[in-house]
Amino acid sequence: MPKLHRKSDGQPLRDAMQAAGLSITGLADATRRADPKGKGVSSSTVGRLVGRGKTSRDSCDWRTAWVIAEALHERTPAPLQDLFAMPSHLTVTVERSSRDAEEG
């Protein structure tokens, strides 16, 4: 599964957190409530995705992005696609011809 990349070095995430009145820890707690499994996203992962320093992370898996967006969407009108760049296509869904398979 491809990773989703945060937009503008995490600025939309930081803006949504500010609008929602959530800190990193507060957003992590909100993700546990938004997650149907109750697991949520750890404070350290949230911190890496919203951070700007050496330890910041530019990408995360779909589930992490979805849970963060769900938690923020409860308090702000910030949909997932405003926070994370969507992949243009999944390679697993692109049809391949037998000729492509023979190249190599």
pLDDT (tens digit per residue) in 53-99 = 999 999 999 999 999 999 999 999 988 999 999 776 555 555 555 55
The DSSP secondary-structure symbol of 92 reads: G
How are beta strands 4-6 and 59-60 bridged, if at all? antiparallel
Alpha-carbon distance 6 to 53, whole Å?
14
Domain boundaries, position 10 = 4-102
C-alpha to C-alpha distance for 33 and 65, rounded to whole angstroms: 15
Work out how many domains the chain is built from and give that number.
Answer: 1
Residue type (1 letter), 2? P
pTM exceeds 0.85, yes or no: no
